[in-house]
């Protein structure tokens, strides 16, 4: 098996650390692993020293798994691509660039072939939603999506997790969010834009349309931060052109790649963040037909936002990439 020189850009972050664990777990064929820290050298992981971010660091690198923040990606991803690497970028920088494919392997793997050196990883909340919805879309054609997210604090980084833990211990520090998150819900993720939706919500709209190749699909999101350490949850209502019954949905989703149906309400069995934590699957439950419209369906979807919502998705793209070489 051919082996590849792989770099992880942003190794000190939660996603960078998760990328490292996943390439090890999945036995990605690595010849040389380069751990790049934009904040500078110093530190190591399993004997791999962190190296600073310079132009020379990309020489000979085949694949860059990148999660250093949008501004750093804006400058350095094109430099890495020019040096001959394929950059799989987890930031928001390139997602809506028409020249950069935006990919979830279970949704639109064919778009990987269109890359010109950079492939974008979608937003975490969009990834898990579309993993669950794509097989239903293929069967019944989704016209409209109404989604409410319940997003864990790990989506805002390690400092946000620490802030939740500190507040649960009684500390009053509020830095990462506009309000205390412990014992609270915050119906704002990212800043508000002119239409009174947040940037996080508009990501879900625009990314869905791009990956489904359908600018007419209607998406109405509300994104909420909740006092959960890890794993995002979503309540999703869809309206389809062709009716999908509960039984059909269960059958379709049970066969779908990356999906695990957890739906036994008589035994109080349904997806929970605590059960999805550390797992690769997107869990779907509370599947039921919408009683207010003829062709509606409700789903409850939970996934580990650091794994499938970020690091795992990037590694899966890399796995498809090397199979095509």
pLDDT in tens, the chain (325 residues): 799 999 999 999 999 999 999 999 999 999 999 999 999 878 889 989 999 999 999 999 999 999 999 999 999 999 999 999 999 999 999 999 999 999 999 999 999 999 999 999 999 999 999 999 999 999 999 999 999 999 999 999 989 999 999 999 999 999 999 999 999 999 999 999 999 999 999 999 999 999 999 999 999 999 999 999 999 999 999 999 999 999 999 999 999 999 999 999 999 999 999 999 999 999 999 999 999 999 999 999 999 999 999 999 999 999 999 997 7
108 and 35 within one domain: yes
CA distance 20 to 1: 20
Residue found under tokens 């209502």: 237
Q: Work out whether strand 48-52 and strand 44-45 pair parallel, antiparallel, or are unpaired.
A: antiparallel
Burial (CB count within 10 angstroms: exposed 0-12, middle 13-18, buried 19+), residue 320 = middle
Residue 81, domain extent: 4-122+310-323
Q: Is the Cβ–Cβ distance between 33 and 9 less than 8 Å?
A: no
189 and 299 within one domain: yes
Show the tokens assigned to 109: 């793997």
143 and 93 within one domain: no
Active site residue 124: yes
**Would you state the pLDDT for residue 41?**
79
- The count of other CB atoms within 10 Å of the CB of residue 214 is 14
**Would you state the pLDDT for residue 43?**
87
Provide the H-helix boundaries in the chain: 14-25, 70-82, 124-140, 158-168, 199-212, 246-254, 273-276, 312-323
149 and 58 within one domain: no
**Would you state the pLDDT for residue 42?**
83
Catalytic, out of 18, 115, 124, 137: 124
267 and 318 within one domain: no
| Tally of structural domains, the chain | 2
Domain harbouring 161, CATH code? 3.30.360.10
243 and 182 within one domain: yes
CA distance readout (Å), 26 to 9, 247, 284: 19, 34, 24
278 and 147 within one domain: yes
Q: Is the Cβ–Cβ distance between 209 and 186 less than 8 Å?
A: no
225 and 256 within one domain: yes
Helix %, strand %, coil % of the chain (to 5): 35, 25, 40
149 and 107 within one domain: no
Burial (CB count within 10 angstroms: exposed 0-12, middle 13-18, buried 19+), residue 266 = exposed
Q: Is the Cβ–Cβ distance between 200 and 125 less than 8 Å?
A: yes
**Would you state the pLDDT for residue 1?**
78
159 and 230 within one domain: yes
292 and 150 within one domain: yes
The contacts of residue 97 (CB under 8 Å, 6+ apart) are 120
In angstroms, what is the C-alpha Rg of the chain?
20
**Would you state the pLDDT for residue 200?**
98
Catalytic, out of 18, 137, 223, 232: 232
Active site residue 232: yes
Domain harbouring 66, CATH code? 3.40.50.720
271 and 135 within one domain: yes
Its pTM stands at 0.96
Q: Is the Cβ–Cβ distance between 314 and 291 less than 8 Å?
A: no
């Amino acid at each position: 098996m051919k082996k590849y020189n792989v770099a992880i850009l942003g190794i000190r972050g939660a996603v960078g650390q998760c990328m490292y664990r996943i390439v090890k777990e999945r036995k990605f064929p690595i010849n040389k692993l380069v751990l790049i820290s934009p904040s500078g050298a110093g530190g190591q992981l399993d004997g791999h020293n962190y190296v600073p971010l310079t132009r020379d660091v990309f020489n000979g690198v085949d694949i860059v798994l990148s999660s250093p923040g949008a501004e750093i990606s804006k400058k350095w991803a094109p430099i890495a691509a020019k040096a001959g690497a394929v950059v799989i970028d987890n930031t928001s920088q390139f997602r809506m660039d028409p020249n950069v494919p935006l990919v979830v392997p279970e949704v639109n793997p064919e778009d990987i072939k269109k890359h010109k050196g950079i492939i974008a990883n979608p937003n975490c909340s969009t990834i898990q939603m579309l993993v669950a919805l794509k097989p239903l879309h293929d069967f019944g054609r989704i016209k409209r999506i109404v989604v409410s997210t319940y997003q864990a604090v790990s989506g805002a980084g390690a400092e946000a997790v620490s802030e939740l833990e500190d507040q649960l211990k009684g500390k009053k520090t509020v830095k990462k969010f506009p309000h205390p998150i412990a014992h609270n819900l915050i119906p704002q993720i990212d800043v508000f834009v002119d239409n009174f939706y947040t940037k996080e919500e508009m990501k879900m709209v625009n990314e869905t349309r791009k990956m489904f190749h359908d600018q007419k699909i209607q998406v109405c999101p509300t994104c909420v931060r909740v006092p959960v350490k890890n794993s995002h949850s979503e309540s999703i209502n869809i309206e389809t052109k062709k009716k999908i019954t509960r039984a059909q949905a269960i059958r379709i989703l049970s066969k779908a790649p990356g999906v695990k149906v957890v739906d036994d309400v008589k035994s109080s069995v349904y997806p929970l963040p605590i059960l999805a934590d550390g797992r690769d699957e997107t869990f779907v439950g509370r599947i039921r037909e919408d009683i207010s419209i003829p062709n509606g369906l409700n789903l409850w979807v939970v996934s580990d936002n650091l794994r499938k919502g970020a690091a795992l998705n990037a590694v899966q793209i890399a796995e498809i990439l090397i199979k095509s070489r």
